[in-house]
Amino acid sequence: MKPSLLLAGAAVALSGLAAPSFADDVTIKLWSRADRSGPLRAGNIVAAAEQLNNAFEAAGADKRVVVELIETNNKGFDADALALLKAHSVGDTPDIAVVAHEWIGSFVEAGLAANLEGHIADNATMYADMIPELWNSVMYKGERFGVPQDSEVRMFFLNNDILRATGKSEEFIAQLPAQVEAGEFTMFDFCDLAAEAVNAGAAKIGWVHRPNVGPDFQMAMASFGIDIYNEDEAKLQITKQGLTDYYGWLKYCVDNGSLPADMTTYSWDSTHAAFRGGDALGKFHGIWNVGKQLEAFGLEGKDDYFHKLTWIHAPAGKAGGQPKNLSHPIAYIVGETENKDLAALLVAMASQHVPNTAHAVTTNHTPINYGQTAMPEFQEKGWALIAGTPMLKYAEFMPNHAKIGQYNAITYTGVQAVETGEMSPEEAAEMVIEELEIELGDDVIILD
């Protein structure tokens, strides 16, 4: 942390931007899960208040901001969101909260989260370098009700040594990411490549995915044209044809021997071991795996790592289509309270390059501002995060809808049914759509 730079940011906020006026002493209530893996999510807000107070003192102003940290012990962001909604319902609305972005719609409908469009416009210089795609994660009905606190990227990892053992040239390996971005290498090509590796004896397993319900599958669904959220109506949606195509791809991968038919019975340990142990050509998961991969493969540094492994987006479902990946940002929301203008200013200060970098490089998160990748801390410690940042151009985000967890769970039953051979892709699509209609009712739109 560099206090001098944060102080400069506070001075800029006060002198040239929308600095709120307030009484001599103001308490800002900050809601955050107790998170040892990411203490600066709350810590950067506290530091911003300290720097703002330093700026007031330097200016001779008799004002002070005190942050009251409401630290919860909820297990996971979903449980925390429900607790936050309960607190709000009895009048205990915090001024700032650290949340999983997909709950923003629920917070808006409950009257908890303030609309930040005016704040962002008034303080445009403080947000000018924000990676544009990340704003999509905090949108609800076309407007921004939060500020991304960090970001990540989930992609496909490939073992280059297995590709070499399959007979692929260095040129083939080097050009693969560009072919994916150009829509020339499809999801079916990926499964064919993985099957080729297995048939050549270079890999024991073609590829693996997460063994349970989770958002990772969304990027594969998006590759087949499934847009799971209607922003105008703030409802989830599904297309039968897209779902059939997606499940058809999974069946294709099982049938050609690239994807284990019992993949959904794996444990996380066995899933990780399949790739890190060198048995599987590919795996799709998140950038936070890099540390464990370095350790498992005995690699040192960027050059060693990328000689061993290649990253690609989830390829397009068909030639000429667009690849996809997934990001799941945590976000700051500002409560609809009398202190919302001051709270928003603290969020803006905590979102600047220096404090956000201190969080990102210590937690393996990609940045929220493009310029962070040029900072010494990123250059020294975050080469993987720098490499992952351009991938955010193709990022999808979980919808800001309270029932996305149910949606994911239902669509996952189709994954299980198809991979185990219990149902055809068409049958699985029919089953999933029926369950979505029953369980989600008016919260889901059936497109075809």
pLDDT of residue 229: 94
**pLDDT for the residue numbered 63:** 86
Arithmetic mean of pLDDT, 344-362:
96
Compute the distance between CA of residue 56 and CA of residue 446 in angstroms, rounded to an integer: 55
Residue-wise pLDDT tens digits, 255-273: 999 999 999 999 999 999 9
Position 160 scores a pLDDT of: 98
Q: Rounded mean pLDDT of 356-384?
A: 93
Burial class (CB in 10 A: 0-12, 13-18, 19+), 268: exposed
Nearest-angstrom CA–CA distance, 269 and 286? 15
Q: What is the pLDDT of residues 100-126, one digit of tens each?
A: 999 999 999 999 999 999 999 999 999
Question: Looking at the predicted structure, is the pLDDT value of residue 330 above 70?
Answer: yes
Q: What is the three-class DSSP state of 314?
A: strand
Q: Say if CB 385 and CB 367 are below 8 A apart.
A: yes
User: Full-prediction pTM beyond 0.75?
Assistant: yes
The one-letter amino acid at 440: L
DSSP code per residue over 200-233: TTS-SEEEE--SSS-TTHHHHHHHTT---EETTT
How does pLDDT run across 158-215, given as a tens digit for each residue? 999 999 999 999 999 999 999 999 999 999 999 999 999 999 999 999 999 999 998 9
Least confident among 31-40, 95-104, 302-311, 312-321:
31-40
Q: What confidence tier does 6 reach under pLDDT thresholds 50, 70, 90?
A: very low
CA dist list (Å): 162 to 108, 166, 313, 363:
48, 6, 19, 30
**Distance between first and last Cα of the chain:** 52
pLDDT at 402: 84
Complete domains list, the chain, with CATH: 3-151+328-396 (3.40.190.10), 154-326+403-446 (3.40.190.10)
Confidence of residue 364 (pLDDT cuts 50, 70, 90): confident
CA 365 to chain centre: 9
Q: How many C-beta neighbours within 10 Å does residue 117 have?
A: 12
Cβ(101)–Cβ(327) below 8 Å: no
Spell out the residues 6+ positions from residue 274 whose beta carbon is closer than 8 angstroms to its own.
Answer: 205, 208, 266, 280, 283
